[in-house]
Amino acid sequence: MKFGLARVSTDKQDTAMQIDALTKYGVDEIVEEKVTGTGTRKKRPVLDELLGRLRTGDTFVVYNLRRLGRRAVPLMMLLEEFQEKGIEFVSLTENIDTTTPMGKAVAGILCIFAQMDRDIIVSNVRAGLDAARARGRVGGRPPLKKAKVELAMKMYFSKEYSIREIMEASGIGRSAIFEYAKVYKKEYAPDEGCQQ
């Protein structure tokens, strides 16, 4: 049986192009997955479930290798696992078919290029952040405006508002409110703040 995977990395992306290509190839069953999480630690329950269903003689088809990941070692391990279990692997974009010696060689090379592509992206991001820092810009969340912090602290130490009310009025998160309270305690009140 031929199983196809249509997989994207965000909710905003569409799998239609992949599904069209997989259908044209003649896949019997297509599963879709929108990956959750960030970076290289993304959750992939649909892919993991599909991989668990594959049996000897099945064919696993993807639009391209990136649908499985960008790290060379996990990709190579997956391809080796397919080989050991007698599962055929096809990547449509790269025209890989691991039932042939040439297909196996090309798969190994492309896994290396996938890893290199990821490393280049990471390197470019780091270089961009370094360049921004050199110009005095810092990434991450912008600092909170002092007026919002002061509003939150006045409400907190008045003991008249719940933490939820303070969060809604100031736009500051729960943990940040408690952190600021430690800093502003002497300025606003020598005793304990409101309880929640």
Q: How far apart are CA 81 and CA 58, in angstroms?
A: 13
Q: How many residues does the chain have?
A: 196
Q: How far apart are CA 137 and CA 121, in angstroms?
A: 21
pTM for the model: 0.52
Q: What tens digit of pLDDT does each residue of 130-139 get?
A: 888 888 776 6
Q: What tens digit of pLDDT does each residue of 5-62 get?
A: 998 877 778 889 999 999 999 999 999 888 755 444 456 788 888 888 999 999 999 9
Q: Does domain 2-121 have CATH number 3.30.70.20?
A: no
Q: Give the active site residues.
A: 9
Q: How far apart are CA 60 and CA 82, in angstroms?
A: 9
